[in-house]
Amino acid sequence: MAEHYSRIIGTEEDKVNCPFYFKIGACRHGDGCSRTHLRPHFSQTLMIPHLYIPPAPGPDGQPVDDTEHFEDFYEEILEEFQKFGDLEQLNIVENLGDHMFGNVYVKFEQEDAAEACLKAMTGRYYAGRLVAPEFSPVTDFREARCRQYDEGVCDRGGYCNFMHMKHVPRHLRRMFRPKRRDRDRDRKKSRSRSRGRDRKSERPSRDDVARSGSAERKAKIAEWNRAKEEKD
């Protein structure tokens, strides 16, 4: 029975728990949902509802290009989140439903970092709005995002119940480099350079041989010739 329950939890077969809250961390029915919302007490992922608000429509009522506005927002919150620890993902949705509008999802590498961020940001204000982060059950965004939207064929538009992720330009993605991975990469480069120096120090270069005395030079050339003949 326990194995069956663990298999169906968060799926359409689960008649107790809300599958949308389990996958998306948000539900259009809110607290009035007929199914249970399993709110985690700890998680690597935080959801900050309605944190990103795009610019107001133009005088003609049409949406305006929010590229610059979004890039400034993304850069600002990325810098703020990185103060608490290394990040795995940072996603902002552009869905229009009340339960998803402007939601920001940040996944840390460690649960402790997510907890520290939640405690520090709860009760703060951003652009005049109260920040209310909460632990989210979403850990695998592949299950949360709308595949049809990624392919440009979602017919539900902004009111789709799966995540429509805002596009993050490449130059901003380059800023998203977890510090631990940078340190690991730096250590690998350092070890590689050290091994290269060690190998060079173990065998004299041709320039070193050229600068040596005549007898030493002849002996070294003879040694190289013997090594080459043995290899052949």
pLDDT for 93: 96
Check: CB of residue 51 under 8 Å from CB of residue 126.
yes
pTM: 0.71
Q: Where do the domains of the chain lie, and which CATH numbers do they carry?
A: 2-177 (3.30.70.330), 181-231 (no CATH)
Paired tokens of 188:
């690998």
pLDDT for 173: 81
Amino acid at residue number 162: F
User: Tokens 């041709």 label which residue?
Assistant: 206
- pLDDT less than 70: residues of the chain: 1-14, 176-222, 224, 228-229, 231-232
pLDDT for 174: 79
Paired tokens of 54:
């795009």
pLDDT for 124: 94
**Which of 162, 167, 159 has its CA nearest to residue 148?**
162
Is 132 exposed, middle or buried, given 0-12, 13-18 or 19+ CB atoms closer than 10 A?
A: middle
Check: CB of residue 116 under 8 Å from CB of residue 104.
no
**Which of 14, 76, 22 has its CA nearest to residue 47?**
22
pLDDT for 223: 74
What stretch of H or E contains 72? helix 67-81
Sequence-distant (≥ 6) Cβ neighbours of residue 107 within 8 angstroms: 44, 45, 46, 87, 88, 89, 90, 114, 138, 139, 141
pLDDT for 190: 58
**Which of 148, 110, 145 has its CA nearest to residue 24?**
145
- Where b means 16+ CB within 10 Å and e means fewer, 143-174 reads ebbbeebeeeeeeeeeebbbbbbbebeeeeee
